[in-house]
Structure 1
Amino acid sequence: MSEIRLQPWETRIEELTCQQYGLSSETLVKAAHAAGKGVQAAYKTAGRFKKAGRAHVIRVDFGSSGPWRHSSDFDEPDTVPHGPLWIYPTREIAWAYLEFDPGEWTPKPSTAAHLTAVSELRLALTGLDTNPQVWTSERLLRRQIKTVPGQPTDRIHDAWFRDFTDPDKVWAIEVELSRKFGDGRLLKVMTSALETAERHDLAGVLYFVRGEGLRRAVEGTAARLANKRGVDSLSNLEIHDLDATLARKGVR
């Protein structure tokens, strides 16, 4: 790994990328925009990270039709691109920022869309703030939450988010992009998310959902949970439209 001098905004983005596992190229551009930089600066930074041995840049084909443009910087000359480019730090770089060995990690098609949505929501809510007390990413939560043998298994939320209107409150973040069918899966997932939040004395769970159909399903399940608890509604669960939130914050 060669030494390079990073600008402060590049350091912030590199740390955010480590906390979020990695970023798609589109999300990287949005992160650069949050720093007041343009598309070319984002791709140039990705190239510098890769050339210096600080990060990997690969294609992740998760089935979307694109269109995908060939990158002279990151694709082989005869490559027909499928899926977006992803940048993710090497194990050593992630270790340096996270202060623990995160192990090897590579982006997978099965989780790429979800990780992208969570990272974009983070940019919408907290910008480039990398203070783990403001936004505790899933990667950090997996290190922080220890499951006690014999106790209920804690769900790892997509993030914990400190309420900027009331800093004494920390909310669990859950992002849902598609309906979970079969064997009451949505009910089980939402129950687990709420119970874990309660065990850790969080204010509750903020659900960000994509699509009207999914929103109705989550709202219906929330009503069932409230009924099981003998209340009209759950005071510790809020449901928000993901895309409306991103658009309102200028990230969509």
Structure 2
Amino acid sequence: MAMVEKRQRKARSDAGQVRQTARDALVLHWLCQMYGAPLDLIQEALQIGRPRAYQLADRWKRAGWIDKAVVDPGPVWLYPRKHVVEQYLEWSPAAWVPKVTTSAHVRAVAAVRLHETRLNGLAGPGDAMELEHWISERQLAHEQGYAKKGQPQQHTPDGVLILPSGERVLIEVELTAKSIERYQQKLADIRIRADQLQCAHVAYYCKPGEVHRVVSGQVAERRKERERKVFEQSRGIGDGGLPGPMWHVKSLEEVKGWQLELPRPDRPEGR
């Protein structure tokens, strides 16, 4: 009986390497836009369990795409490595690592983006990550550049949301209370940037309590000014200036995951 030789399969050139999937690419690109994010927000966005989220994070780190950092008592933070950021953003940003001084704001902005994505039906079922309807603060700052010596730096929004209708919404996230004078100046700066970025709306997400109360009061004055300009335009009177964007003050209470929530002592989080 003739012996049949067993053919050996040629080893793949990428054997042992992690192969990037479409979901990997989506999450990595999203993280590059947002600087980074804590694992619980990625878990929520992908609608997966915590064990699966850790598996993905370990896989991405093993592939050399991300680094991990323990910033606070909550879940680990993931942030893309510099060569990955350069690949996806197609320009070379300054290196970024999560810090305890800024992590609360970065988390809140990422949570607002996921919230607005779902609220406006911008992603597929069971998903809250998409790339086409958001201009990140990182991208806006890059396009804006640095002010020339002696000139004030323009305000950089936390993001710009592009609605299915094509209308743009300037996004602001406020966690810390400021003086009335600072808010007045900030709202004036936001108004200028909204016009420059062709934003028909401003969505101002505020920490519940004092911040929300004060911002609501200041924005109410902006609404009155806008209504006056709209009225004057309808009558052909006034200075002819544009009425500016419509202002919407929102509480971060409606945004899932906007702040770190530690597990109760009787309900440990686990790994």
Aligned to 1:209: 206
Aligned partners of 2:250 and 2:256: how far apart in 1? 11
1:67-91 CA distance string (max 9 Å, x none): xxxxxxxxxxxxxxx4541110100
* Selected match of 1:180 from 178, 181, 185: 178
Aligned to 1:69: none
Aligned to 1:162: 162
TM-score by length of 2: 0.72
Pairs within 5 Å for 1:1-252: 3-33=17-47, 37-61=48-72, 82-126=73-117, 127-131=128-132, 134-146=133-145, 149=148, 153-164=153-164, 166-167=165-166, 169-181=167-179, 184-226=181-223, 231=228, 236-246=246-256
AA at the equivalent of 1:202: C
Moved more, 24-33 or 106-115: 24-33
Question: Would the aligned equivalents of 2:67 and 2:80 in 1 still touch at CA under 8 Å?
Answer: yes
1:167-216 CA distance string (max 9 Å, x none): 2x1111001122123x7222222221121111232213110112133222
Aligned partners of 1:236 and 1:10: how far apart in 2? 37
Give structure 2 stretches of 5+ with no counterpart: 1-15, 118-127, 231-243, 258-271
Cα distance, 1:108–1:245 mapped onto 2, change above 3 Å: closer
TM-fit CA distance, 1:31: 2.1
Aligned partners of 1:230 and 1:114: how far apart in 2? 32
Aligned partners of 1:14 and 1:239: how far apart in 2? 31
Give structure 1 stretches of 5+ with no counterpart: 62-81, 248-252
Aligned length: 218
TM-fit CA distance, 1:230: 8.2
TM-fit CA distance, 1:93: 0.6
AA at the equivalent of 1:109: V
AA at the equivalent of 1:180: K
Cα distance, 1:161–1:152 mapped onto 2, change above 3 Å: same
Question: Would the aligned equivalents of 1:57 and 1:87 in 2 still touch at CA under 8 Å?
Answer: yes
TM-fit CA distance, 1:124: 1.5
1:39-96 CA distance string (max 9 Å, x none): 22211111111122211101113xxxxxxxxxxxxxxxxxxxx454111010001111
Question: Would the aligned equivalents of 1:32 and 1:41 in 2 still touch at CA under 8 Å?
Answer: no
Instruction: Give the structure with higher Rg (CA).
Output: 2
Question: Would the aligned equivalents of 1:226 and 1:232 in 2 still touch at CA under 8 Å?
Answer: no
Counterpart of 1:129 in 2: which secondary structure? coil
Identity %: 28
Counterpart of 1:107 in 2: which secondary structure? coil
